[in-house]
A and B are shown apart, each in its own frame.
Chain A
Amino acid sequence: DAKTTQPPSMDCAEGRAANLPCNHSTISGNEYVYWYRQIHSQGPQYIIHGLKNNETNEMASLIITEDRKSSTLILPHATLRDTAVYYCIVTFNNNDMRFGAGTRLTVKP
């Protein structure tokens, strides 16, 4: 079973920031937080990952709370092409990536 809890769906207005939450209250010290997304029926796409510190790349920012029990993925300026299912995954082992149901983000014009 996935070790994370995500809302099943969210909406966001085009051009606004999309903030996707993830709860992982049972995370252990050596587990990373990963975010992937899946657009329509394509293969999942890596977005970002982190251990303790906040991370930023060209796609998104990842904010991890100090107690590491939750995190937020931020898409700073959402576009229609960001409409997808977003998966939050907690793992210490790349051979054990448990994808749950994710959050279906719909970006609206």
Chain B
Amino acid sequence: DAGITQSPRHKVTETGTPVTLRCHQTENHRYMYWYRQDPGHGLRLIHYSYGVKDTDKGEVSDGYSVSRSKTEDFLLTLESATSSQTSVYFCAISEEGIYAADTQYFGPGTRLTVL
């Protein structure tokens, strides 16, 4: 399995509070991704990064921000959590992103509940 860890694995928070989720990789892969998974929607891309300090929006980026100050870490921040952001969040990595013949490897996920 690719060396990807996510922290925390579970979190319960209240509406309006800030939340930061961390993805850490030991593979030195250039690309990192954040997805959310909700019943009836499959996985949806929130943001991705193509290098240190280089990020871009995905399909469902509203309400989320990301940062990547080191190759190995990709942070997802909910500035003011809402109940609609209750979800399971997955991080993924890939060696290259611009060519489709490159696979993504996923972390174990973080289950976030916003009350």
Cα distance A18–B9 in the bound complex, in angstroms: 33
- Does A2 contact B42, Cβ atoms closer than 8 Å? yes
Range for the number of chain A residues in contact with chain B: 20 to 34
Q: Bound state CA distance, A87 and B104, in angstroms? A: 13
B12 within 8 A of A: no
Residue of A whose beta carbon sits closest to that of B100: A32
A41-B109, A94-B96, A94-B97 known; A99 vs B104 contact (CB < 8 Å) = no
CA distance A40 to B114 in the complex (A): 22
Flag the segment in A43-51, A59-67, A70-78 that touches B.
A43-51
Question: Does A21 make an interface contact (CB < 8 A)?
Answer: no
Report whether A99 and B31 are in contact in the complex, using a CB–CB cutoff of 8 Å.
Answer: no
CB pair A45–B56 under 8 Å, yes or no, is no
Given known A-B contacts A93-B98, A94-B97, A95-B97, A49 and B43 have beta carbons under 8 A apart: no
Q: Which of B82-103 contact A (CB under 8 A)?
A: 88, 90, 92, 94, 96-103
The number of residue pairs between A and B whose CB atoms lie closer than 8 Å in the complex comes to 69
Q: Helix, strand, loop or mixed for chain A's interface?
A: loop
A99 adjacent to B97 (CB under 8 Å): no
Q: Do B109 and A95 touch (CB < 8 A)?
A: no
Determine whether the beta carbon of A101 is less than 8 Å from that of B90: no
* A–B Cβ pairs within 8 angstroms, 23 of them: A31-B100, A32-B100, A32-B101, A43-B106, A44-B90, A44-B92, A45-B106, A46-B105, A49-B101, A92-B100, A93-B97, A94-B98, A94-B100, A95-B31, A95-B45, A95-B50, A97-B43, A97-B45, A98-B42, A98-B59, A99-B35, A99-B43, A100-B42
Interface residues of A (CB under 8 A from B): 2, 30-32, 34, 41-46, 49, 51, 87, 91-102
